[in-house]
């Protein structure tokens, strides 16, 4: 057997293994959530009750879906302008300079920081600051967790956006400059049209990261089983309720938590699919 066939079979085996692992994950989530699904049916998606009292157990996911979307959307709204500005700084305005190199290195370092570190920073620095300026009595809530999520996803969005911006051919930009275009006109009429699919992809991936974040959100959201009523209201996310209750859960409660995990998996998959569709349309 020659080397080409060995490489071909190796790649095929690796790809098949990934499919098998993904299928096993989905199967285990579906199997684990069947008890909850048979008990509550589709009402599980719209129910706001979460009562683990023995004999009166009632579980619903709407509380946690709302908390997850509130924090993730808020994080994306905060992150987009900062990530976009930083990527333009690195990839266009100060491209190939020492300053851009330093900022790019710092962005990469921030992307590699474990989420628990962000959570600790938010708990000991951000939360007391929010209390001190009177935004929230305890510092917990949607705003605090959304803000820390934004700080976490900015490096991911920036790094990918920067790479896409730097891939725009210099010939196109030089042609625009030769016709008398300003730097701003080149950005809006040359760089953004050519890099928009990659920039969009970076924000979608960052949003997916925010949806599944667990530790940082668990430490800051307040872990209250209620639908958030505002930016400074407490709440709970799908990932945080699993992290808080999974270790001690059993029976119907355990199955309900697994079903929430399955829902999070489905939501993330749908967002990624929509993102790929948008990228193909914009490409």
Residue 226 and residue 96 share a domain = yes
Q: What is the pLDDT along the chain (283 residues), one digit of tens a residue?
A: 677 788 888 888 998 999 999 899 999 999 999 999 999 988 999 998 898 888 788 998 999 999 999 999 999 999 999 999 999 888 888 888 888 888 888 888 888 888 889 999 999 999 999 999 888 888 899 999 999 999 999 998 898 888 888 888 888 888 888 888 888 888 888 888 888 888 888 898 889 889 888 889 999 998 888 888 888 889 999 999 999 998 888 889 999 999 999 999 998 888 878 777 776 766 5
24 lies in some domain: yes
Residue 81 and residue 219 share a domain = yes
Residue 250 and residue 182 share a domain = yes
What pLDDT sits at residue 248?
86
What pLDDT sits at residue 34?
93
Residue 141 and residue 22 share a domain = no
Residue 221 and residue 186 share a domain = yes
Residue 70 and residue 187 share a domain = yes
Residue 111 and residue 31 share a domain = no
- What is the C-alpha to C-alpha distance for residues 252 and 32, in angstroms, rounded to an integer? 10
Identify the helix (H) or strand (E) that includes residue 50. Answer: strand 50-51
58 lies in some domain: no
What pLDDT sits at residue 69?
92
Q: What is the CATH number of the domain that holds 154?
A: 1.10.3720.10
The conformation of residue 89, written as its DSSP 8-state character, comes to I
Residue 84 and residue 44 share a domain = no
Q: Which residue segment(s) compose the domain that 206 sits in? A: 63-282
148 lies in some domain: yes
Reduced to 3 states, what is the DSSP secondary structure of residue 235? Answer: strand
What pLDDT sits at residue 83?
92
CB 108 within 8 A of CB 158: no
- What is the C-alpha to C-alpha distance for residues 230 and 268, in angstroms, rounded to an integer? 24
Residue 45 and residue 95 share a domain = no
Residue 21 and residue 113 share a domain = no
Task: For CA atoms 243, 206, 272, 114, give the dihedral sign.
Answer: negative
Identify the helix (H) or strand (E) that includes residue 165. Answer: helix 142-166
97 lies in some domain: yes
What pLDDT sits at residue 257?
94
What pLDDT sits at residue 121?
92
Residue 111 and residue 13 share a domain = no
Give the count of domains, the chain.
2
């Amino acid at each position: 057997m020659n080397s080409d066939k060995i490489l071909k079979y190796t790649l095929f085996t690796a790809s098949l293994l990934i499919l098998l692992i993904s299928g096993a994950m989905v199967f285990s989530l579906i199997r684990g959530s069947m008890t909850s699904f048979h008990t509550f049916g589709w009402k599980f998606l719209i129910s706001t009750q979460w009562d683990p009292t023995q004999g009166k157990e009632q579980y619903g996911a709407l509380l946690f879906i709302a908390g997850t979307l509130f924090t993730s959307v808020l994080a994306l709204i905060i992150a987009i302008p900062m990530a976009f500005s930083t990527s333009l700084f690195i990839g266009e305005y100060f491209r190939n300079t020492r300053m851009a190199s330093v900022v790019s290195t710092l962005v990469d370092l921030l992307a590699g920081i474990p989420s628990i570190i962000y959570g600790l920073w938010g708990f000991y620095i951000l939360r007391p600051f929010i209390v001190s300026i009177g935004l929230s009595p305890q510092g917990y809530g949607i705003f605090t967790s959304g803000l820390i999520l934004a700080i976490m996803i900015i490096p991911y969005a920036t790094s990918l956006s920067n790479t896409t911006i730097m891939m725009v051919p210099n010939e196109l930009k030089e042609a625009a400059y030769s016709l008398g275009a300003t730097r701003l006109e080149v950005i809006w009429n040359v760089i953004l049209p050519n890099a928009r699919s990659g920039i969009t992809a970076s924000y979608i991936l960052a949003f997916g990261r925010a949806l599944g974040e667990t530790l940082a959100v668990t430490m800051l959201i307040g872990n209250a089983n209620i639908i958030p009523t505002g930016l400074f209201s407490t709440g709970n996310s799908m990932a945080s309720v699993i992290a808080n209750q999974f270790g001690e859960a059993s029976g119907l409660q355990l199955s309900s938590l697994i079903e929430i995990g399955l829902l999070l998996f489905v939501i993330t998959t749908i967002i990624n699919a929509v993102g790929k569709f948008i990228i193909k349309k914009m490409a």
